[in-house]
Amino acid sequence: MSDTADYEALPQRTSLRGRRRDKDEPRETETVHQQQQSAAVPAGPSAAADTADSHQITQQLEGLSHHEHRQQQPNMPAYRSAAVGQHKFEYLDHTADVQLHAWGGSLKEAFEQVGLAMFNYMTPVDALCVDDACTRDFSASGHDLHSLLFAYLDELLFVYSTEYIMMKHIHITTMDTEEHTITATCHGEKFDRHRHECGTEVKAITYSAMQIRERQGDAEVFVIVDI
């Protein structure tokens, strides 16, 4: 059987847990609120009491949800609060495309996380298995950090585009921020539309609004990809 026997191009803008929300798509909380407003409320003191009790319960539930979230993501800055699962990446709204935002305790970890963010947008990486036959080693280089980040992600995307391999783990073995070079080892498996959830295919990496921020003990990157 050929390597492409089970492959079909990922559908465009398919729903995927962790993807960004379209600007015209209502949030679940907005829908519930609208339903509550449209519900008929009988007149009289008892109705007012019921409304007050309902408001109090809603506040308690919202407070509990916020407390649980803070327990799952301790000391998480507000702009990183949309992290997918236990990963250190999230998806930010952007017209027509998607912006990957990843972070870590070092620039190396932030680069690893943004690579996983790209694969996770196409299929949830936590559901992937590791096939030793799909382990890949590669290197990338650039003339500065931005071109290095571009080349690194482009190498990862090339593996998917040519071999349909989705990576579950990415380990950067060496990273030289002066010579702007990276070597990495990745582990994953071939994408199979019969077993894997279909997200939205990433077509290309872009330099648009690319940002790399690094300070003591923390680093983050922002990359817009074409979908």
Residue 55: what residue type?
Answer: H
Q: Could you tell me the pTM of the whole model?
A: 0.67
pLDDT at 120: 97
Residue 164: what residue type?
Answer: Y
Q: Rounded to an integer, what distance in angstroms lies between the CA atom of residue 11 and that of residue 198?
A: 7
Q: Which pLDDT tens digit goes with each residue over 84-129?
A: 878 999 999 877 789 999 999 999 999 999 999 999 999 999 999 9
Q: Rounded to an integer, what distance in angstroms lies between the CA atom of residue 39 and that of residue 85?
A: 35
